[in-house]
Amino acid sequence: MAFLPILAAVPTTLEWSPKVAVVMILCNIVAIAIGKFTIKYPNAGPAMPSPNLFGGFGLPAVIGTASLGHLLGAGVILGLANLGAL
């Protein structure tokens, strides 16, 4: 019963819209650019079906950059929603 006030303090979440999708796509592009310049062996591990489509990244690099992009995107979307920009 002590945690009920904490549950009531959770803010409402933002509904999906094209603006949210654009922010997520841009954050993923930024993460891929960061990965392109920082990953030491981008083509390691199992290869992707079409390496040219994935920028020469192997499976671990694609999963890593996509994960980073989604973390960045979630933070940016929540931050912009809190500021009232989305």
Residue 46 lies in a domain: no
Residue 9 lies in a domain: no
Look at residue 5 and tell me whether its pLDDT is greater than 80: no
Look at residue 13 and tell me whether its pLDDT is greater than 80: no
Residue 34 lies in a domain: yes
Contact of 77 with 28, CB cutoff 8 Å: no
Residue 12 lies in a domain: no
Residue 64 lies in a domain: yes
Domain count, the chain: 1
DSSP output for 4-39 = HHHHHTPPPPPPP-HHHHHHHHHHHHHHHHHHHHH-
Residue 78 lies in a domain: yes
Which range of residues forms the domain containing residue 65?
17-39+53-86
Contact of 57 with 40, CB cutoff 8 Å: no
Residue 25 lies in a domain: yes
Tens of pLDDT along 15-46? 899 999 999 999 999 999 999 899 888 888 78
